[in-house]
Every structure is written in C-alpha cells, then in structure tokens.
Structure 1
C-alpha cells in the first residue's frame, strides 16, 4: 500500500518539515539530481516528514538513523525511498523540529544535538555532522522537547524530572527546575507562546514563560495517569488544553479551561490504551494511537469518532503528527512502519431538525385519516 511504508528501523519520533524548508532546501537540492529537473506542479504537491529511531546501543545490527521521506499530496502516498538518511551513533529518542527552518534537535541518551537539513540530505562520510548543544550535554535522557511557534524558545524535559527552558538560538537559560516532576513525560507551548505546560504521570504544571514561574498545577483524579498534552484553539478562537490520560477502563481525554485552569469535561475511550496523542493544527481533530496498533481520530467539538484505522500498525503506536494543513495524519511505530491516513471529509450534521419531524408527523396523520375515510372505517362528520 502506497500510504504505508517500512523503513527498516523502529521509529520513535516523527514530524513534518516546514514547507519553506522543503521548498528552499530539499527541493532545490533534488532538482539537479538524476534527470536534472522536476516539474513545478509535481514539486509543489509534495511535502516531507522526518523520522527518527533505531536499534539503540545494543548489538541488534539495526542502525540509529534520521531519515527524510517524501509525502505526495496528489496521490496521498509516502514514497518508499527516503530522500535523506543520516546514521547517528546514539538513539534519537525524541526530537523537536524548528518551525522556521532552523534544523532539528534530537534527544539522545545523555545529550541533545542539533542537525541541519542539508547534512541529513547529503551526509559526508568521516565528518561529525551533528552539533552538540553544550547546555544540554550530559543531562541524561530527555523524554520531551518542544519549540514555541515562533521558534524563539526551546523546552526540554528529562527522565530525572528536570525542566529546562532556553531562548533560541542563544541558549540563554529562562528556567531550570530540577524537581518539576518525577519525570517529564510531555511538553506543549500555548498558541501565543505565553504558557508552557509540562506533564508528569500524576501532575500537570502550567508555566508563565516570560515570568519563568509556575502559575497553576493540574492534578489527576482517581486512577488517571497523565500521558500526553497539547494546546489548541476551539471554534470560538479560545485556547484550550487537552490532556490524554490512561485509566483502568481505557484512555481518557480531559479538556481544561486556560483562564481558570479548571477541568471543563472529559471523554472516556473505553478499552483503548493510549500510547500516542496529537491535535490537528486547525483544532478540529484529536488523534490517538494505541498499544494494539490502532489509530483513532475523533472530532474535538463532538468528541465522537470520525475515523478508526484498526491495526494501522503491528505494534504500539509511538508517535502521531498531523500535516500543517490538517489534511492528513502520519502514524509511526516500533514495527518500522510509517502510515499516512487522509482525514475523511464528512458533511456536518447539526442534530435532529424537529420542525421537519413535526411536519412529517402531521402529513402522516392526514394521509392516515384520508385512508380510513376511503375504506369506510371511519365516517366523515
């Protein structure tokens, strides 16, 4: 299937490369290869994703790699042959793509390194292509990384529970909280960049980025275990915070008010064990990956299933990423597969039209009355 490709290594992280980067660097580089040119229509229909993962530090024989893969929007397919592939020494477990084309930051077992897109496209044998970030060297495994939308702030959350926030690219320290959580599982910036949310298993903390201080703590209830978090914007243009949690009955999605920082409502997804979570850029859809390899897409307004892809993967889903135009979703897994799912366009329904129902009932009564009169069952007055 063209919308599913196997790339030969367990995939831990995936994201879309900013369009301006694809146009100015990747497409320009490929234009001179092979036959010398690509048609502008074909080039403009393509996007790229970056995948990272590998076999780790063991002797599995599986390399640790970062790859760039084409996505053809005209045919809704992933291209089998990567257009860029870089082998790295340690496992790139997490990553953050700079939103303005400033490269890629990967979290390796002990440190974080930055990679240029050109180096992934054209690796030069014998050269050290990655750039060690001094402020994130020998800090242990980082479980979460995120840029704000402007690309001016980088946040990193460690396995040891430390939260670090820096200006980018100066790496001036804005926050260094050693006991933010028992471990930092996920990070997300608000649309405005004013807030940063850090997530631990039992507690979610909201930070004012400019003030470099925590302003709210959001606690779990009952048997919830927080797993992932994302900011988004609702239909009214207001910011909303989603937290995906695991419970004894399945996955749960909790919606939080970003003014009062109180729970608004929650939606239980029975029998689904959530391993990956994301929100579409337009805020209309939430996506979940499960331990069984399924992918579930639900409406953010009605909290009802929009699409269900059963057995999208052979094992648990490790990451999900929506395209910038919210038109499709890429899911990845330990099974070395990347799968492209196009979001189905379904007509909006606004519930039951009670006026139509009433008119139909009146018409039915009139027809029934005339029928009984004709049959002589009842007489005319």
Structure 2
C-alpha cells in the first residue's frame, strides 16, 4: 500500500501542484548533483561512486514539470517546477524544490538538455532557455527579464508543439504549429535544416539513438530526416482512418534501432513499429477502446508506456507488447505526458488535473496460477517417488 501524504489523503506517490501540467521529464543526475541538490562534502573524485550507488541516486532524483493557465484571467500561474523523487519510498515531494513563475506565457512544451544545459520551453511565440540555477535560486518565485534567455533564432516564430535534443545534446530540433521544422547545432544555433512546409503542423519529434535520424510527424504523415544530410529520406503514411499522434525511437533486444509510432482511430489507439533500415511497417498493436494521449519508451528499450484520454496509464513490455500493468483512473482527465526514470524502475505521468503520479514498475515474475500448478506437480512427483521407494523396500505390497 502506498504511503500517505502527511497533509492530504492522497498517496505520496501522487501529488497535486496547483496548475494544469503539460510536460514532464527527469533532470539528468549530473545536473541534479551540480545545480540542484549540491553536496559540498562530495568532491569530483566521488562522482563515480555516487552515480553507482542506488541509494544516493534515489535520494537525488528530480523531475521538472511545466504548465499553467495560459494568458487568461483564471488566476492560475504559468510555472516551471522542480520536484524531488524518492524511489526508495515511492514518493514525490509535496512541495517543489524550485518554482519559477513565467508571467503570462504558458510553457506548453519543453526539452531537457541531456547533460547540464538546462531546459528549453516553448512559449506562445518564442522559445526560452532556463538554467537550473534560475529555477532554484529566485526567492520571489517570479521570473525577471534577466532570467529569461530568449533563443534569438526562435524568437517570434509562433507556437512550437514539439522540442527535442539528440542523445548527445549537440543538436536541437523544433516543430511548429504552422508546420515548420527547424534543426540547429547546439549551443551555436547554426542552422542545419529549416523546412517551412515539412508538415501541416508538427506534433511530435524524436531522434534516433545514434543521432543520425530525426523523425517528425503530423496526423497523416511521418517523415524521416538524415540530420547530417539535412534532407528527408523516407515518408511513412497512415493507413485507413489512422491519425498519427506521437513517435519515439528506441533499441530492441538485438541492438537494432526501432521506430515506434502511436496512431488513433475511432476504435481506439495502436502502437506501430517500423524498422530503421527499410522504413517498413513491421507490426501494429491495437489498444482497444483507448485513445492514446501520451506515449514514451524506457531508456533500456524494454518497456512502453501510454496514457489515455480517460486518464488511464498502461505499461507494456516492448517485445510482444503485452500489457504488464494498468493503472485505471491514474488521473482525473487525459494524460498529457509521461516519462520513465533513467534506470527504467518507475514512470511519472502528469495531467490537466494538476497531478503528477509516480508508478513503480512491477518486477516480472511467475503468475500465481503457474506457481500453484508447479506446487501440485511437485507434490504428485514426491508421492510417486515415495510410493516406489516403499514398494521396493517391501513396506507396501
């Protein structure tokens, strides 16, 4: 049974943060150590032992969330939050470690740099870079102009619906509501690609694990781009009444890169896999009666997670896409985003209901029914052995 929050009746693995939450991600441990939960007693020589210690890593895990009420007069602020995660007690901090109010602009989407480079948030007309120190250090909790670092190449470009760094953090991609795809070197912001008609509207972006490919999509079309060549190399179209919603790259158990695309139809959602050599559709797994609103893949590639319009969270193993866990009504409304921890031990999901929920991954084991039949079989075998032993000894005729 989950621990209860000391001030509320909800489990400590679920916290309410007072604003609709649109995005969530884990903060890299190196950034947590150096920028957020700093330990002056630990030197750089201790870094290796610290990162290898599960207890230390658990106590230093943090997530960043963004959301708010937008430009209206709802009184709901637009904020970036840093919250602590304790994997040993399966709990989220009741109060954020850092809270930055960003004025009237809603931080609708974000991308966390894979090292210490902070995060970029997509606001209604521009993108801004926020450093972890800015979110942690401001005592008045109100952003000032000196804390806002507008990315000049992404100023007055309209709403960006998707942001992504490549695995090395050396390339940044942005996808706009008007369909423009932009790719830059990071942090120099040298333009690698600027395609104004990539899509009708870019809904999702993902880099391959090697960083060679970038995939972008809108409802009917997914395009594969060669990052170095700055050109499209494949177009993947929907089938029948599918509408693409999200995409993620991962690596399968054989070490090959695989592309996952989530699609929705009137009958529910589905997860589609493509190989990364011929870009052919391999398999489609229907998620019946569930429209998928959020999707992600674990860092080790073994798990998939989906969030639904109804507020449910499902965790599947990636090889056969069999459902491992279902959290019914994990949220009161549609799941806006979800993300696995770097060690793939747990999942954080967020929603318009202002809640963040931590779900621990259940360890794969034998089903109770299987264990019962194994016990019965063992008893029968022992009985047979005992019978023949006693017969051989003349104990029974």
In 2 relative to 1, CA 30–203 (structure 1 residues): closer, same or farther, beyond 3 Å?
A: farther
Aligned match for 1:27, one of 21, 31, 37? 37
Structure 2 unaligned regions, length at least 5:
1-10, 42-49, 385-397
Aligned match for 2:210, one of 181, 192, 200? 192
* 2:69 corresponds to 1:55: yes
Helix, strand or coil at the partner of 1:49:
strand
d(CA) in 1 for partners of 2:247, 2:195: 19
d(CA) in 2 for partners of 1:259, 1:63: 46
Deviates more, 1:122-131 or 1:101-110: 122-131
Structure 1 unaligned regions, length at least 5:
32-39, 368-381
For 1:45, the equivalent position in structure 2 comes to 58
Aligned match for 2:134, one of 101, 112, 119? 119
For 1:312, the equivalent position in structure 2 comes to 330
In 2 relative to 1, CA 177–337 (structure 1 residues): closer, same or farther, beyond 3 Å?
A: same
In 2 relative to 1, CA 58–263 (structure 1 residues): closer, same or farther, beyond 3 Å?
A: same
Helix, strand or coil at the partner of 1:92:
coil
d(CA) in 2 for partners of 1:156, 1:187: 8
Alignment TM-score, normalising by the size of structure 1: 0.88
* 2:89 corresponds to 1:79: no
- 1:261-318 Cα distance to aligned partner (Å, 9 max, x none): 0000101110001000000111111100001100011111111110000000000000
For 2:303, the equivalent position in structure 1 comes to 285
d(CA) in 1 for partners of 2:144, 2:337: 30
Helix, strand or coil at the partner of 2:240:
coil
The offset of 1:29, in angstroms, is 7.4
Aligned match for 2:17, one of 1, 7, 31? 7
Q: Is the 8 A contact 1:27 1:43 kept in 2?
A: no
Aligned residues: 349
Helix, strand or coil at the partner of 2:38:
helix
d(CA) in 1 for partners of 2:310, 2:130: 33
Q: Is the 8 A contact 1:246 1:274 kept in 2?
A: yes
Poorly superposed stretches of 4+, deviation over 3 Å: 40-44, 124-127
Q: Is the 8 A contact 2:33 2:39 kept in 1?
A: no
Structure 1 residues 365-376: aligned runs within 5 Å = none
Structure 1 residues 1-381: aligned runs within 5 Å = 1-28=11-38, 44-46=57-59, 47-89=61-103, 90-123=105-138, 125=140, 127-128=144-145, 129-347=147-365
Q: Is the 8 A contact 2:249 2:258 kept in 1?
A: yes
Helix, strand or coil at the partner of 2:35:
helix
Q: Is the 8 A contact 1:275 1:290 kept in 2?
A: yes
- 1:143-174 Cα distance to aligned partner (Å, 9 max, x none): 00000010000000000000000000000000
Alignment TM-score, normalising by the size of structure 2: 0.84
d(CA) in 2 for partners of 1:20, 1:190: 23
In 2 relative to 1, CA 114–30 (structure 1 residues): closer, same or farther, beyond 3 Å?
A: farther
d(CA) in 2 for partners of 1:123, 1:137: 24
d(CA) in 2 for partners of 1:296, 1:28: 35
d(CA) in 2 for partners of 1:290, 1:88: 29
Q: Is the 8 A contact 1:275 1:289 kept in 2?
A: yes
d(CA) in 2 for partners of 1:305, 1:346: 12
Helix, strand or coil at the partner of 2:37:
helix
For 1:374, the equivalent position in structure 2 comes to none
Helix, strand or coil at the partner of 2:114:
coil
The offset of 1:101, in angstroms, is 1.1
Helix, strand or coil at the partner of 1:45:
helix
Helix, strand or coil at the partner of 2:31:
helix
d(CA) in 2 for partners of 1:223, 1:252: 12
The offset of 1:44, in angstroms, is 4.0
d(CA) in 1 for partners of 2:366, 2:171: 38
d(CA) in 2 for partners of 1:334, 1:289: 12
